[in-house]
Structure formats: C-alpha cells, structure tokens
Amino acid sequence: MRFLIRRSVDLVVAYMGALKAGATVSVLDPQYPPDRQTIYLEVANPRFLVQIERATEDAGKLPDKVREFITKNLSLKAEVPALKLRDDGTLAGGEIDGKDCLEAQESLKSQLPNVLVGPDSIPTLSFTSGSEGRPKGVQGRHFSLAYYFPWMAERFNLSENDRFTMLSGIAHDPIQRDIFTPLFLGAQLLVPSRDDIAHELLAEWMRNYKATVTHLTPAMGQILVGGATAQFPSLHHSFFVGDILIKRDCRRLQELAHNVRIVNMYGTTETQRAVSYFEIPSKNDDPNFLDTMGDVIPAGKGMLDVQLLVVDRENRNRICDVGEQGELFTRAGGLAEGYLGNDETTATLNASKFITNWFVDPTKWVKQDEERVAASGSKEPWRQFYKGPRDRLYRTGDLGRYTADGNVECTGRIDNQVKIRGFRIELGEIDTHLSRHPLIRENVTLVRRNKDEEPTLVSYIVPEMKRWLQWLEEKGLAADDSQDESMVGMLKKFKPLSDDCRNLLKTKVPSYAVPSVFVPLSRMPLNPNGKIDKPALPFPEPTDLLLAAGRRPSQVAASMTETQKKVAEIWGNLLPNVSARMLTPESNFFEEGGHSILAQQMLLQVRRTWKGIDIPMSVIFQSQTLEAFATEIDRAQDPAGLRLEHAPAPEDVKDEAYSADARELAQQLPKSIPSANLDFSEPKTVFITGATGFLGSYLLRDLLNRKLHVIAHVRAKDPTAGLERIVATCQAYGIWSDDWRSRLEVVTGDLTKPNLGLAEDAWTRVANEADVIIHNGALVNWMQPYSSLRAPNVISTMNAIALCTTGKPKQLGFVSSTSTLDSEHYVKLSQESVATGGKGVLEADDMEGSRKGLGTGYGQSKWASEYIVREAGKRGLRGAVIRPGYVTGDPVTGTSITDDFLVRLLKGCLQLSARPDITNTVNQVPVTHVARVVIASTLNPPVEPLGVTQVTSHPRLSFNEFVGALETYGYDIPKVSYEEWRTKMEDYVAASIDGQKEEHAL
C-alpha cells in the first residue's frame, strides 16, 4: 500500500489502518520530482494507493507523468483519493462516482480484520539510496516494529505522560519511530506544522507545546538550535540518529534545554531501528561531561539483544581488540528482511549485506524452538509467517573500534577515500608515493583533527637510516647525531626529509592531497597483533612545530612591519598547525596549511581589522607570502587612494597575459593537421579525459550505450584502481551497467604532466587506436590565478591536440565553458542583442571581446584553451568546442552533485534565512542534455572542420526565481538587497570562525 503523504494526524491514521489490514506500508513525499516518484512506485509496485487530502492541497494532484505511470504499469485494486480525519473523528476517503469511497466500509471499523500476520510479515517498505545509486526498497519486519519499545521505556524512563515530537522526514523510515513510540506508550504525539519547522520557530514550538522527548537527525538538530533563543526546559530526552553527532551541536542544544539527556544512536534503514546508544547526561546533572568527550560522539553499546561487532578485516573469525580498527557488523534479531527484488543483482546484494552469523551454529536455536513448539502442543498459525530463529549480521560498510569502556566509535568507511574541504582524497595513493621514496622505510597517512577540530592530513614516516645518512653526505648537510626522540627532536632532525617528501608529493598528487604535517618516527607503534596502532600515533602541538622550525619569535617580530604583525596574528589564529610566532615574512599561506575556505575567513578578518578596504579573493592566490599580502593591504590603504585594481600586477595575471600566452602556444601547433573522416557505421574508439567527474560519468554512459569502445583517462595508482573509481562514481549516480566492462578500458595519467601523464606505451597505443578524443578534464577553481591553472587546463589541451596529430587522424571534442565570455564586452553585447530580439553572443564570434577583461583564472584558462583549439581547427583539426553553463542534476533520477555553487547558494540562503536580490539570469542545463550535446557535436561537428556549440537553457531563470523556489518547499526566505545579504553572510562567517555556528555553505 502506497501513501501520498504530509506531516499530519491523517498520516498516523493511515499507517494504523494499513497495518490493521495486514498491508505493507510505503510512503511517498509529494515534493519529490515526478521521475523520482515513478522510480519508487516501480520498485514498490503497490496494489493500493492512499492519498492524504492535505498532501494534495499542499502539492497539488499527482503529476500527469506519475498518474500515467500508475495507469500503465500498476494494477491497483483500490485507491483512496483524499483521506481526511474530520473534526468529529470520522474518516472520509474522497468521492468516487459521487460517493465517499469509504462509505461502504464504515460498518467494518469496529470489527477485527481477521488478518493473520507473523514476526516475519512485512509491514513497511522503506527506501535507501546507498552507494549503488538507484533507490533500494528495504523490507521491514513486524518483529522489529515494536521489539525495542519496552526496553527503551524502562531504560530512558519514558511513559504515557510524555509528549513526543514528529520531526523526522515524512518519507524516511525514522518517521515510524516517531509515530509508534508514543502510540506504544500511550503518550501524546505532537505534530508541527510546516511553518513551525523553520529555524528558531522550531525551538519556540518545542517550548510552547512543552515537548519532553524528541527524535532528531544532527541536521534537524542544527535547525532546532540555529539562531534560536527560546529555552525549552521540559525536554528531558533527545535521541539522535542518522549521521555523525558532533560535540559542538550537543553543547548548543543543552544551552537551550538544560534538562535534556542526549542519546546518540547508531542504526541504518537495514537495521530497521537504531540498535546502539550512547547517553550524555543533562547539563544540570553534569555540566562538565562534554568537556571529557572527543569531538565526535561514539555510537555506544548495543541495545536489547544487540551486539556491535568490530571484526578484523583480514581475519573475519577474530573480533578486534580495544582500540584496533575493524569492520563494523550489527548482530540483531530485528534486522530488516532484506532488499526487495527477485533479480540476481538483489539476491547478490542481500547475500553480501545480510549474513548468517559465522561465529555461532544457528541450528541450536532452531532445535530449541522446535522443542518448545512440540512441548506446547499448539499449532500457532502465525508460524506460516515466521522463518524460524535466525542469527544474522548486517554488514554496515563502516569502520569502528572498541573503547576501553566497551563503547564503539565509528572511525570511517571501508573504502580508503576521505573527503576534506569537498575534495575526495585517496590516502592509499599518498602512501604509495611515499613508500617509493628511497629514504622512507615505513609510512602511513591519516586524517587527524587539529587544534581547531579541522580534518588535517598527516603522514607518519620512519626513515631508512643508512640511506638517510648517505643522502645527507651527498647534499653536504651535517648529520644530527643526537639521540633525542622527542617530537621536537625528531621534527628538527628530519626536517630536510619532511621537506623532500612534501616536494615529492607536489609532483605526484594535487595540492589539496599533500599532507600538512610530516611526523618522523624511529619506529611505528604496533598493537599486539603486529599491526600499526594508529590511535597511538602522536599529533604534534603547534609549539612543537614552532620549536622544531628553530625560529626566534622575538627577532622575527622585530623585523616585521605593523601590517605584517597584524596579518601574522590573523593567520596564526586561522591556520591549523601554526601560531603567529612561527610565521616569518616569507611564510606562504597555503604551504602553512591554508586553503580556499580559510582564505575566505581570513579576508573577512582582514576587513574587520582594516575598516574600509575590500580585498578580492584573488589577491591571496597572487600574493601568497605574508610579506606580499601585507603589501597589498598597505596599498589598499594608500592615502592617495591607490586602489588594488590599479596596482602593478604580477606577470602571470596581467590583463592580457592569458591571451598572449595562448597566441605563443598556438604557434607551436603543426602548420597542417590531417582531418579525420570517420565512418560511424563501424565500431570506433573514443579516448576521454575527466571521466570520473559528474559530466564525465554521463559522457561515459552515453558513449558506452552507443556501443563504442572507450579508453578513459583516470588519475589513479593503476588501471584496476582507476576502473574501480569509475564504477564507484557511476554507481553513486545510478548509471553504471556491468555490460560496459568489455568495452571500457582505463589508462592512468595526470593532466598536469607531459603527454597527459600517460606512460609511453599507453600514449602510443591511444594514438594508434583512438578515433575520437573528448577532452573534458580540467581543474575547476574560481579563485586560483591563470598561472596555477595553466598546466592542468591549457597545457593539457595542447597535449590532447598533440595526441590528435599522432598516429591516425582523430576528431576532437573540447569541453569549454561560457566563462570564456564573462567579460564586460560580451555582457553588454548579450544584453543589447536580447533587447532587440537577438539570441545573445553568436557561436561564430571570434572571442576577441574577451581577449582581456576576464576576471577569473579559470575563465582565462578556458579562453586560452579554446583559442588554441580553434587555431588547430583552422589548420585542419576536425571536431567541436562545446560551451556548457552550469551543469545541473539528472532530470530523470534527480541525481545531482551537492557541493557545486548553485546548491551551496541554496544552503547558504537557508543558513542565513535570507536570499539576495539578484536579477541576473543563470544558464543551467541538465547533465543529461549537456552530455548529449557534447557527444553529438564531437561526432558530427556543426561546422567543418571545427565549430562551436553553446549549451543554453530556454527560458533562463533569474537568480531570484531560482533561489525563490525555496519558498515553494515551505522555507520562509525573505528577499533582501545584495548588500544586506552579504553583510549577513559575513556576520555568519565571523560567528562560524568563533565556533558559534556551523561553517557557511559558500
């Protein structure tokens, strides 16, 4: 039975009625896009459809596309078009053929349904996306639905006198917990309106209705306390589940609710209920408890008859020791039945995730049950819906470890990728490169939290001492013969080695993947099993780094100007591993641990320190040393009014430097390039860069669906790892097909390196086999200058053209950007054209209007690359330049990337409870359409031999319309002037720096 729902009492009635009828309940949020709704309906394949009247009032009737899908694909036995609980307590279902559809059943409401269910009957079908991309239906069991309630009531002192809240997502499985817990206890259930769930209003609602128990996700908890001042002392328990819970958020909640005990719970849709708990006493009971905790709250201990098993990943027959990291399995009688589906893929997935417990022999439970049944002599008819005693484990995919007090901490995911500041980093790749350093004996790279609780990459290295001494002698450096193995002593002694390791990695991995700190050790600490004891690895204090650097703070400070001293104070407060005393005029912001997010926070601090100056973000990328940056501040304060835009520019960022560079590079192109003349009636081979990105994944899908052979360029340690990366990315977007494996080949490389980083044999093979090259790869960064983006974006394009001219003739598809037209000249030209009925900048335009005036290094690098490609076209290269704007989500599945600018803008507006008044239009096009245009233009160039295709949206939304869509989904986000919005954002960022708010999305 499928529900179209909204948060209301009607939902509770619908749930209870469906369960009374013995049905399986699955819920559908009308706010989902139509395509997403049809996927859920396809998976669930319901026989009954119940629409809650208030849901249709809010969201309208079912979209035509959904209704058409239901008509064509589902065999509904009945439909309730408009379920409503009247004020007098009676039910209405909506009219069908002039009568209320429930009228004929009115007399049955007081009768027992005579429906038999058992422990393994399926009352719920919940959905989880998981790593495989396409939503999976998880079949809940009756056994699990109420099993934990008596235990929870006793353990947490819950009773019929409590007032519970319904705050979970209405289409997510935690809503079952919100509904059934108070019903089981006979307690009150408080249902907020849509308006109540809005930042500080939620706290006021909690206070006004005297809520005593609430279930929250960490994200909902942040909404509850964000900006709120209302105290709600009646709240005595807050249960968190669904994501990592941070100590900071617990503090904020207990500031508003001094009596609340916070219970962090661990569970997934597959475990059906939260299965572990860690309780934090109220502020009134123990005001200092959180001071003793780490930043991340543990998952805790298993609930009734639940075990959290941390299993040795290399020997699954062994449970890990305290402090040893392993794979986390959940042992519980209340696990879900499994994923819905009879196909082989689902069967394989169920077998890999829901596993019979190999630590015990389950037959003894079966035998005991049989003996009990035989002794009772009862037929127990419900047993036809019971599969007998089962002892199963759920494989969570999480890593964890036991603490000394028996709790479990979640330490990460099974895969060895981490995400820092939005960048996904392969720790194994870093370790592989370091392991090849001739002076390194052992090494391991971890993510540790620094003094500001920021995730920081740290590499631990054990030197190969004999080679180390030889290396020092070859370099003419004196050996340090001291036996000091303290942190400071080791950092001092092996500083040249740390510097050499850092320089090595700069040539092997992106800058964001170079560890901030290298810690030399005489030996790795080992646990009793002979493995590296990672928790025992030390993390240096800032004072250790200062002493190891051998700097004399008093002498350094004396040589600094007043501006430099103030900048040093700002940097010292922000940078993760340094203090102001450690900095010199030559200190580089980024080499000392800075990144783009810290740079934004730093500029805000600069504006607060020096009133009246507004330094652009690009300045810190152009003037990275403390001395150079301080000079820019002095220039901005020049009493003669010399502004930054009039300052002498470094050679690589002069207004026309990028266009001059492009012209010089174009002169290196062959005078004549053979033009490919391809016949696509025969199978062809396509070489593609950027295949693991969002657009790249959809390009792969469309190419492989055309039955082409594809060679994908991937940055990875080897082709196997590169293929795994592609598969994981495509699965995450829900587009992977195993049928592609036979026609997909991976070569490893690096866009910043000569010949795209390809090995010589790979370069030769691609040159001789590829018929088409799609150069989609690039480094997208809106802050870095042209000089930083020249290698990955411009030189890689030169290498792609060189590949086209080596071996057989090839066609080239170059993915550019509309950023090449972001100059004042083209803005005016486009406005004038549109005003007179034109279509804006023409594809045939020669781009000379943005030869100067582009404001970002990224736009400049794309201009230079496109200029070179077009010059190659004049010399015979066949192909196309494709200019997308903002690439948005898949319109069919709703899959999108959540950390791009437009999504961050939406989140940022929610955080500020305000949106800026921006009338400019935004050119956003779905990724599926962009992929089609790229491939069609590449294979069939619009102009011979090489033309330009601009991918644009029709009609274009304004930013006001785009951000204003938030109000459609119930958010009260008033429109304010851009200046006021920016001030709000700066104040918010300042509060986040001080630890009062979460980091701003932008």
pLDDT tens string 439-475: 988 888 888 876 656 678 899 998 988 888 889 888 8
pLDDT for 47: 92
The answer for 990, left when phi > 0, alpha when psi is -120 to 50, beta otherwise, is: alpha
Question: Do 541 and 561 lie in a common domain?
Answer: no
Is 653 inside any structural domain? no
Check residue 168 and report its DSSP letter.
S
Complete DSSP assignment for 920-959: -EE-EEEHHHHHHHHHHHHHS-SSSSEEEEE---SSPEEH
Instruction: Check if the beta carbon of residue 273 is closer than 8 Å to that of residue 243.
Output: no
Helix, strand or coil for residue 671?
A: coil
Helix, strand or coil for residue 915?
A: strand
* Cα–Cα distance measured from residue 853 to residue 335, given in angstroms and rounded to the nearest whole number: 61
Instruction: Check if the beta carbon of residue 769 is closer than 8 Å to that of residue 711.
Output: yes
Is 911 inside any structural domain? no
Burial (0-12, 13-18, 19+ Cβ within 10 Å), 341: middle
The token pair at 991 is 């509060």
* Phi and psi torsions of 962, nearest 5°: -65, -55
Instruction: Check if the beta carbon of residue 618 is closer than 8 Å to that of residue 789.
Output: no
Is 753 inside any structural domain? yes
Instruction: Check if the beta carbon of residue 257 is closer than 8 Å to that of residue 233.
Output: yes
Is 792 inside any structural domain? yes
* Cα–Cα distance measured from residue 450 to residue 574, given in angstroms and rounded to the nearest whole number: 11
Which residues of the chain have a pLDDT value below 50? 130-133, 528-530, 552, 640-654
Question: Do 726 and 868 lie in a common domain?
Answer: yes
What residue ranges in 428-505 does DSSP mark as E strands? Answer: 440-449, 455-463
Instruction: Check if the beta carbon of residue 910 is closer than 8 Å to that of residue 1000.
Output: no
Q: Residue type for 373, please?
A: V
Question: Do 757 and 883 lie in a common domain?
Answer: yes
Strands 811-815 and 772-775: parallel
Is 222 inside any structural domain? no
Question: Do 543 and 559 lie in a common domain?
Answer: no
Is 475 inside any structural domain? yes
Torsion of CA 89, 95, 96, 100, to 10 degrees: 30
Helix, strand or coil for residue 331?
A: strand
Element (H, E) at 576: none
Q: Omega before 33 cis (within 30°)?
A: no
Question: Do 827 and 856 lie in a common domain?
Answer: yes
pLDDT for 18: 87
Question: Do 775 and 885 lie in a common domain?
Answer: yes
Question: Do 750 and 775 lie in a common domain?
Answer: yes
Question: Do 391 and 422 lie in a common domain?
Answer: no
Q: Omega before 955 cis (within 30°)?
A: yes
pLDDT for 898: 78
Give the pTM. 0.50
Question: Do 341 and 364 lie in a common domain?
Answer: yes
Instruction: Check if the beta carbon of residue 153 is closer than 8 Å to that of residue 183.
Output: no
- pLDDT tens for 372-395 read 888 887 778 888 898 988 999 999
Total count of domains within the chain: 5
Give the domain CATH number at 359.
Answer: 2.30.38.10
* Cα–Cα distance measured from residue 807 to residue 530, given in angstroms and rounded to the nearest whole number: 52
β-sheet with 125-128: strand ranges across = 125-128, 136-139, 338-339
Domain boundary (632, 648, 664) is at 648
* Cα–Cα distance measured from residue 193 to residue 85, given in angstroms and rounded to the nearest whole number: 16
What residue ranges in 658-785 does DSSP mark as E strands? Answer: 685-689, 709-714, 744-748, 772-775
Burial (0-12, 13-18, 19+ Cβ within 10 Å), 557: middle
C-alpha torsion sign, points 661, 667, 670, 672: positive
How far, rounded to the nearest angstrom, does the alpha carbon of residue 828 sit from its chain's CA centroid?
37
Residues of the domain holding 67: 1-115
The b-or-e profile of 269-298 (16+ CB within 10 A means b, else e) is bbbbbbbbbbbbebbeeeeebbeeeeebbb
Question: Do 495 and 573 lie in a common domain?
Answer: no
Give CA separation, 562 vs 569, 599, 608, 761, 961, in Å.
11, 21, 16, 57, 47
Question: Do 421 and 385 lie in a common domain?
Answer: no
The token pair at 847 is 């781009």
Instruction: Check if the beta carbon of residue 141 is closer than 8 Å to that of residue 122.
Output: yes
The token pair at 894 is 């709703």
Residues with Cβ within 8 Å of 193's Cβ and at least 6 positions away in sequence, in order, are none
Domain boundary (357, 380, 410) is at 410
Is 239 inside any structural domain? no
Is 971 inside any structural domain? no
* Cα–Cα distance measured from residue 493 to residue 485, given in angstroms and rounded to the nearest whole number: 9
The answer for 421, left when phi > 0, alpha when psi is -120 to 50, beta otherwise, is: left
Residue in the structure block whose two tokens are 């543990």:
298
pLDDT for 645: 41
pLDDT for 535: 77
Question: Do 484 and 540 lie in a common domain?
Answer: yes
Domain boundary (99, 115, 131) is at 115
Give the domain CATH number at 568.
Answer: 1.10.1200.10
Q: Residue type for 824, please?
A: E
pLDDT for 651: 44
pLDDT for 816: 93
